[in-house]
Amino acid sequence: MIVIIQCKDQIGLVADISRLLAEAGLNIVSMREYVAKAENRFFMRLEVDGNGDEHTLTNKLIAILPEGAEVHVNPLPDKRIVVMVTKEYHCLADILVRNNFGTLGASVSCVIGNHPVLRKICERFEIPFHLVSYEDVSRDSEQEIIKLIDSYAPDYIVLAKFMRILSHGFVTHFPNRIINIHHSFLPAFAGANPYRQAFERGVKLIGATAHFVTDDLDEGPIIAQQIIPVNHSFTASDMVRSGKEIETAVLAKALRLVLGDRVFVYGNKTVVFE
């Protein structure tokens, strides 16, 4: 069982939480905690063993914590995700392989594409593929996607190179539940064609960023980032090819962290217990 707590900091929190768990007959196997002093914010992730009702434990924890505390008790670590794609296959293929061998930390409920290009690879892995045309930008087309996603009741939506800007209504419907992989080391080269921007700027490092989606394009809370060196001999195409490899790695790492309940969001920042 995993217990996630985020609240105002105060003296004695760790002792109070530990005492409550002991009284409930739960043994702490792992505990990570952090205090953001500037915001007076306390974060804790615990793994516990023992028999206990998650709803009862949640209510007991809320009763001893500062007002407004966020508590999540998850007896089943595996999650459900919906993946959204356009045409690029590299991130989706990695997710499907991990899902197939049970190493993703979640099950892929379906894949939604706004082009039919990736239907066949989904069929090979026996994952439902839904083609929902996004060529028109009407509100109805987006509402159709929201309705489809809700029918699967996923924990998270993963944008595996879904190349379309989502509306305010879509983002607010899934707060802190949409994970995107961006092909640059944000905040550098946000927006379209970042590898072309990097090539023209003559950078010596390129990278990728996985982040939660907000209304501010490519500015949501960052989950994971990586960089690799490049040099004058790299063409824009070379950068794209190398970038795809690091995009896949960064998204895989971000999913491992999020699906393992290791990422806390507060404001536009994250606390990540790796």
pLDDT, one tens digit per residue, over 183-228 is: 765 555 555 666 666 666 666 777 889 999 998 877 899 999 998 7
Same domain, 263 and 228: yes
Closest among 162, 98, 95 to 134, alpha carbons compared: 162
User: Which of 44, 74, 104 is at the close of a domain?
Assistant: 74
Q: What share of the chain is helix, strand, coil (3-state, %, to 5)?
A: 35, 30, 35
β-bridge pairing 41-49 and 27-36:
antiparallel
The count of domains in the chain is 2
Examine the fold and report which residue of 52, 74, 96 is the final residue of a domain before the chain moves on.
74
Are 90 and 67 contained in the same domain? no
Both tokens of 4, joined, read 């996630």
* Nearest alpha carbon to residue 188 among 231, 222, 233: 222
Task: Looking at the structure, tell me whether residues 56 and 86 fall in a common domain.
Answer: no
Query: What CATH code is carried by the domain that includes residue 11?
Result: 3.30.70.260
Task: Tell me, yes or no, whether 109 and 199 share the same domain.
Answer: yes
Same domain? 89 vs 62: no
Whole-prediction pTM value?
0.88
* DSSP annotation of 26: -
State whether 138 and 251 are in the same domain.
yes
Same domain, 59 and 128: no
Print burial letters for 116-126: b (CB count within 10 Å at least 16), e (below 16): eebeebbeebe
Same domain, yes or no: 55 and 136: no
DSSP secondary structure code for residue 190 in this structure: -
pLDDT digits (tens, 9 = 90+) for 43-58: 999 999 988 889 999 9
Same domain, 188 and 123: yes
Are residues 202 and 267 located together in one domain of the fold?
A: yes
Element (H, E) at 32: strand 27-36
Task: Give the domain extent around 234.
Answer: 79-272
Distance in Å from the first CA to the final CA of the chain: 18
pLDDT tens-digit map of 77-129: 679 999 999 999 999 999 999 999 999 999 999 999 989 999 999 999 999 99
Answer whether residue 136 shows pLDDT above 60: no
155 noted as active-site residue = no
The residue from 16, 140, 218, 261 that is catalytic is 218
User: 83: closest CA among 125, 136, 140, 27?
Assistant: 125
On whether both 267 and 154 belong to a single domain, the answer is yes
Span 140-181, pLDDT tens digits: 678 889 999 999 999 999 999 998 888 899 999 999 999 999
Same domain for 189 and 250, yes or no, is yes
The radius of gyration of the chain's CA atoms, rounded to the nearest angstrom, is 20
- Boundary (domain end) residue, out of 20, 55, 74: 74
